[in-house]
Amino acid sequence: MLLAVENLEVRYGTVPAVRDVSFHVETGEIVCFLGANGAGKSTTMLAVAGVLRPARGDIQFDSRSIVGLTPEQVAALGIGLVPEGRRIFGRLTVRENLVVASGLRGGMAAQKQTLDVIFNLFPILRERYDGRAGNLSGGEQQQLAIARALLTKPRLLIMDEPSLGLAPKFVDLVYETFAALRDSGVTLLLVEQSMRRALSLADRIYFLQSGQVVLHGRAAELAGRSDLEHLYLGGAAAR
């Protein structure tokens, strides 16, 4: 088991955003989190990445507890996060964004191969290499955000709503990338809004509602269930 989260509780002040979440990710899987806004998906991911400290529960990566580690220590262990809103460094150039991410594994010179893979996947990043990252379109920024995460050489790559606000052609590109990443041995944990995409891409799916897992299972099994839409939409309506 690559990632195992047990009874995770995360609070903002005294308000629990995640109450009691347990899930796991096996090596080589694509696991999807579905749920309405405010269900606790992003909070869970930030806790795994070491950005938020859990109030309770345990997070194990490679059978080792990573609770209490700093974000940079978590990154060094091999967990990459493309957070909600992409958070590219808009005042830096595309190159400089990549330089920052390359530092963890020896810098740009040592990462020649990964860079080639990245430019192959996202040729626009090569074209806009010395341009200001803030001037990229939303889809291009998403590509840069994923490229940055790849440079940290993650074994587990977490992506929080990678398709949010993207034009359809970029969504397709991003999802093709996921398939390619899985084939190259990266384990993926995705937060997704679109159930259709989640069902078609993921191996397993967790449904979150009000900070708790209300349903989980293999995508192939869930795809046939008629109450799924209701559950998902019900959660959205309840917020």
Q: Let me know: does 127 contact 74? Beta carbons within 8 Å.
A: no
Decide whether 88 or 181 has the Cβ nearer to other proteins.
88
Decide whether 93 or 210 has the Cβ nearer to other proteins.
93
Tokens of 165: 């606000």
Decide whether 91 or 196 has the Cβ nearer to other proteins.
91
**Shortest distance, CB of residue 85 to other proteins, whole angstroms?**
6
Decide whether 69 or 195 has the Cβ nearer to other proteins.
69
Decide whether 28 or 107 has the Cβ nearer to other proteins.
107
**Shortest distance, CB of residue 46 to other proteins, whole angstroms?**
9
d(CA 93, CA 129): 7
Q: Residue numbers of the site for other proteins (CB under 8 A)?
A: 49, 51, 70-72, 75-76, 81, 83, 85-87, 89-92, 96-97, 99-105, 107-108, 134, 136-138, 141, 148-149, 151-152, 165-166
**Shortest distance, CB of residue 141 to other proteins, whole angstroms?**
7
Residues contacting residue 212 through CB under 8 Å, at least 6 positions apart: 19, 20, 21, 40
Decide whether 42 or 152 has the Cβ nearer to other proteins.
152
**Shortest distance, CB of residue 114 to other proteins, whole angstroms?**
14
**Shortest distance, CB of residue 65 to other proteins, whole angstroms?**
19
**Shortest distance, CB of residue 78 to other proteins, whole angstroms?**
11
